[in-house]
Amino acid sequence: MKRLWFVLLPTGLAVFFIVVWGCNIHIGPPAQTAEQARPAATHAPASKPQSGKDQQGAASRQARPIDKTRLQRVTISGPTAVGARVLENLERKSQKTAVIDLETQRALQAKQAKKARLPAGTSRETASGAPVPSVWFRAKQTDDSRCVLYLHGGAYTSGSVETHKRLIALIARSARARVLAVDYRLAPEHPHPAALEDAKAAYAWMAGQGCPPKRTAIVGDSAGGGLTLATLLALSKEKKPLPAAAAVMSPWTDLAGGGATLSSHEKRDPILKWDDFLQPMARHYAGSGDATSPTISPVYGDFTGLPPLLIQVGDKEILLSDATRLAERASANGVLVRLEVWQGMWHVWQAFAPKVPESVRAIDGIGAFIIAHVP
């Protein structure tokens, strides 16, 4: 029997983490496997030889030393007793299996999302006129001139504003900002660059809603963190105005699978697996594109000229090296980077607020970062 397992967040936040074991995720009849439907080049590992132009660009970027004056790396000690108990619970639940496909996963997410309630002192409102389905989040003490574009996680194939509404609202409250959360199009129905186009369209629209770039930050978790970075790189390439800052939580930055911790942390991570989950999702999202393209895998991009960046990652994550490599590359390109590595934390632990103290502290840190750069 084909197996996969899922971990349901015990906090009422309606965020599911699905991990596939030994099956091909599909929507509708499985006419083709992922391998048949996608060219091999789409999901080549990071070590695959590149074209001459790519090699020159990569060599130029890799030759730059890490600018320690631009990179602030901080290790956050932990976990607390509560955090340790939640981690133990996640590790125990990760041993349970259930048969599920992507369509069922999305249905479960939607069902669970209906049970979640917004935190006290926060509200939501449909963003009328937005080019992409979006929702405004506010808190009682919101400064409407301070804005955030939020891009949710879900491996580019699931998740929504609804599944992430509690986390988004908590960030709105912490940053005392109004937050536009976007329901960008998902793969495999809409592979790259659909999500990127939606993110750019929402960002451009915000400027006409009292959110000029200099008063805006972009924030995202997991795949949404990768999409945040891809949006910055695309805006820079197109010579569009950049936001004042960006913050990413457990960012997925390398869909080509070049990170060392994908294997070294496989048994430590209670949420994600590469071979049986992230890799198939990467194929869905990359479509016919090259997985090492910077707008698919931002870790391969040139970050020169980008705004200050906050990166939060747990040391239990298989995506730890996605975050550390991002920090090193961005700082080498001259970006002011704060990298926080949280001991004993798992993928997007911020979503466990207010139950887990580390989650609350991390969200508070995101809020303080945004306020510092959008005062």
The CA distance from 162 to 160, in Å, is 5
192 is catalytic: no
The CA distance from 317 to 326, in Å, is 15
The CA distance from 342 to 280, in Å, is 28
Write the burial class of residue 114 (CB in 10 Å: 0-12 exposed, 13-18 middle, 19+ buried).
exposed
The CA distance from 150 to 132, in Å, is 13
- Which residue out of 26, 152, 192, 347 is catalytically annotated? 347
Q: How many C-beta atoms surround the C-beta of residue 14 within 10 A? A: 25
The answer to whether 373 and 107 are in contact (CB under 8 A) is: no
94 is catalytic: no
**DSSP annotation of 241:** P
- Which residue out of 94, 160, 174, 222 is catalytically annotated? 222
- Which residue out of 158, 250, 317, 331 is catalytically annotated? 317
Q: How many C-beta atoms surround the C-beta of residue 97 within 10 A? A: 14
340 is catalytic: no
What's the one-letter identity of residue 162? Answer: E
Q: 């132009």: which residue's tokens?
A: 53
Residues designated catalytic: 222, 317, 347
